[in-house]
């Protein structure tokens, strides 16, 4: 996965593993989440969205299983 910095008030960086369908999102809070089963089209639309935070809330959040990979507060891993 190649991480890409993005212009967003919500997200800091994104990456995508096409072979596994894993979307890696790093938020401005430094929390890092992996979202599973994400189609490549969703990743591409996220990159092209004028508001990445709005797109995330509308299309990704609550629609895909995820795991918290890192947290700035505790450095914990947690699955949901």
Answer whether 14's CB lies under 8 Å from 28's CB.
no
The three-state secondary structure class of 3 is coil
Q: What is the pLDDT of residue 5?
A: 97
Pull the structure tokens for residue 65: 């299983």
Enumerate the domain spans of the chain. Answer: 4-73
pLDDT tens for the 80 residues of the chain, in order: 789 999 999 999 999 999 999 999 999 999 999 999 999 999 999 999 999 999 999 999 999 999 999 886 654 444 55
pTM of the entire structure?
Answer: 0.86
């Amino acid at each position: 996965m190649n991480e890409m910095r993005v212009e967003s008030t919500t997200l800091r960086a994104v990456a995508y593993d096409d072979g596994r369908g894993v979307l890696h999102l790093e938020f401005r809070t430094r929390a890092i989440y992996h979202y599973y089963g994400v189609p490549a089209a969703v990743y591409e639309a996220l990159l092209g969205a004028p508001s990445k935070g709005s797109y995330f809330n509308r299309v990704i959040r609550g629609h895909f299983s995820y795991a918290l990979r890192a947290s700035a507060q505790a450095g914990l891993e947690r699955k949901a």
